[in-house]
Amino acid sequence: MRTGPVIPVLIVEDVPQARPLAQALVKGGIRVLEVTLRTPAALDVIREMKTVDGAIVGAGTVVTTDQFEQVMDAGAEFIVSPGLSETLARPIIDSGVPFLPGVATAGDIMRGLDLGLEHFKFFPAETSGGLKALKALAAPFYQAKFCPTGGISLTSAPEWLAFEPVLCVGGSWLASGSPDAVEAKAREAAALAA
């Protein structure tokens, strides 16, 4: 979460797109890449992106323990889930791989803290009340750090990142267009850390 200000949320349909996309993002200064399990190609996309020097490739939209095992076999370096269940969290925590579970309520955060977690994905960020809601949720949980995802844009990212408990944001806007366009977007996003 501290490696860069934006984690691109990547939905990649075709494996041949994976390497050029990862290269463009890394060249633009965005190294942490979340490949969502929303397409049949996702596991092969993770494997392909892992071949790009400098890329830190993880799996997103992990919702079952079977998926967790599959993405680990594919070489995922971190796990992101849209929600938090003990059934999924326990084996991930036990494995030692970085885990970013989705939370949207105080109860979600409390369950995560009970499991020994302090880093969370606030999801879906905008439809869960936006920054105002996260500020209210974060107040009683001083130890928690967040990566808001869901409706975040280049325009709104700086406001989110200005809130101290937010270490980074997730966004899908980085992944569209030609490799040159993706690299340019990545440079803009990487500059948000400055």
DSSP string, 67-113: HHHHHHHTT-S-EEESS--HHHHHHHHHHT--EEEEE-SHHHHHHHH
Active site residue 188: no
Q: Residues 173-184: pLDDT tens digits?
A: 999 999 999 999
- pLDDT on residue 118: 98
Q: What are phi and psi of 140, to 5 degrees?
A: -80, -10
Question: Domain limits of the chain?
Answer: 6-193
End-to-end CA distance of the chain: 15
Q: Which amino acid is at 168?
A: C
Active site residue 121: yes
Q: Residues 138-193: pLDDT tens digits?
A: 999 999 999 999 999 999 999 999 999 999 999 999 999 999 999 999 999 999 98
Q: Can you tell me the distance from the alpha carbon of 120 to that of 106, in angstroms, rounded to the nearest whole number?
A: 12
Token digits of residue 95: 């494995």
DSSP string, 168-182: -EEESGGG-S-HHHH
Q: Residues 70-121: pLDDT tens digits?
A: 999 999 999 999 999 999 999 999 999 999 999 999 999 999 999 999 999 9
Q: Can you tell me the distance from the alpha carbon of 148 to that of 6, in angstroms, rounded to the nearest whole number?
A: 10
Of 27, 77, 86, 121, the catalytic one is: 121
Q: With 0.85 as the threshold, say if the pTM is over it.
A: yes
Q: What are phi and psi of 162, to 5 degrees?
A: -75, -15
- pLDDT on residue 123: 98
pLDDT above 90: percentage of residues in the chain: 97
Query: Could you say which of 3.30.60.50, 3.40.50.620, 3.20.20.70, 3.40.50.2300 is the CATH number of the domain covering 6-193?
Result: 3.20.20.70
Of 34, 48, 50, 183, the catalytic one is: 34
